[in-house]
Structure 1
Amino acid sequence: MSVSLILLPLAVAAVAATHGATAGRDREGHVVCEVQTRMRDETLLVAALRDTDAAVVAERGEITADWAGVCAVFRRAEDGIWSAHFTGDVDERRAVEAVRAIDAAYGRQVQRAVLERLREQAPAAGLRLESEQVTEDAAVRLVFAVEGRS
């Protein structure tokens, strides 16, 4: 089976939802549907795919992710919106579930990148990290002290 998904940025997805975005078929008969996502950064997407235990190859503007029995090819259109074409042992439900898992992994990658940037840039801003706490829901609370200013 073959399924193609259009990975809409969350802001675009909200507008599309009000205009009745639905699943359909392309010229080759593949199921095509739209899925809300926050994925923009290619490096973070590759890391997120690896977090879902995919074997990943990224080259020439295309990312291929391979799981046991399922393969997905991600391409970015000129407007910056990613699409994913799934082949193998997959149906629409499984493809959407896979994208949601990838999106969750992507969110964790974004969080990691932001935390790393905060830790790196804090000293230059006159801040010292006092404490860091990770909550049950994986939220991170950082407490910074302002370095002595007179």
Structure 2
Amino acid sequence: MSVSLILIPAALAVAAAIQAGAVDTGGTVCTVSTRMRDSTLLAAALRETGAVVETDTDRVVAVWQGVTARFTRDAEGIWAAHFSGDVDEARAVAIVGRLDTAYGRQVQAAVLERLRDRAPAAGLRLESETVTDDAAVRLVFAVEQRGRA
């Protein structure tokens, strides 16, 4: 079986859904809203879901037991996921749902790393970091006193 999913940013959902309706790959095609844009974070999220991943410029291939997904990106940066193997539309959508959740964790980790790295240059010192039960992260920074002239 073959299933293709168009993974569009939520803000572009209506326009992309109209365009996706015109796509004919010979298999099932459906549109799924997502936040995925960065191929490095996508590959990391796929690995988090247990996939073996291969990447190049605008293509990512993920293999799970019995399922292969080939992710390609169009000129507008919108990803399409083409699933093959032991997969139907419901399973493909479920995989993308788990992937989107993992991608969110990867984005959060990247943003936190950038904040920690850039804080000293901005005159900030990380005082505390707390992770809540729902995986939200709270950072408390102190403003460093700079010498007066």
TM-score by length of 1: 0.91
Q: In structure 2, what residue type is equivalent to 1:59?
A: D
Change in Cα spacing, 1:27 to 1:116, as seen in structure 2 (3 Å) is: closer
1:7 — aligned with what? Answer: 7
Alignment equivalent of 1:123, drawn from 110, 120, 124: 120
Q: Please state how far the C-alpha of 1:79 moved relative to its aligned partner.
A: 1.2
Are residues 1:76 and 2:73 paired? yes
Are residues 1:32 and 2:25 paired? no
Q: In structure 1, what residue type is equivalent to 2:145?
A: G
Helix, strand or coil for the counterpart of 2:142?
A: strand
2:143 — aligned with what? Answer: 146
Alpha-carbon contact 1:25-1:32 (below 8 Å) kept? no
Alignment equivalent of 1:103, drawn from 100, 106, 110: 100
Q: Which runs of 5+ in 2 are unaligned?
A: none
Helix, strand or coil for the counterpart of 2:50?
A: coil
Identity of aligned residues (%): 66
Listed as ranges, the matches of 1:32-51 within 5 Å are 32-51=29-48
Over the residues paired in the alignment, what is the CA RMSD in angstroms? 2.0
CA distance in 2, matches of 1:140, 1:128: 16
Helix, strand or coil for the counterpart of 1:138?
A: coil
CA distance in 2, matches of 1:24, 1:90: 21
Change in Cα spacing, 1:55 to 1:25, as seen in structure 2 (3 Å) is: farther
Alignment equivalent of 2:64, drawn from 61, 64, 67: 67
Deviations, residues 101-135 of structure 1 (Å, cap 9, x unaligned): 11110000000000000000000000000000000
Q: Please state how far the C-alpha of 1:62 moved relative to its aligned partner.
A: 1.2
Count of residues in correspondence between the two structures: 147
Q: Which runs of 5+ in 1 are unaligned?
A: none
Q: In structure 2, what residue type is equivalent to 1:109?
A: Q
Alpha-carbon contact 1:25-1:31 (below 8 Å) kept? no
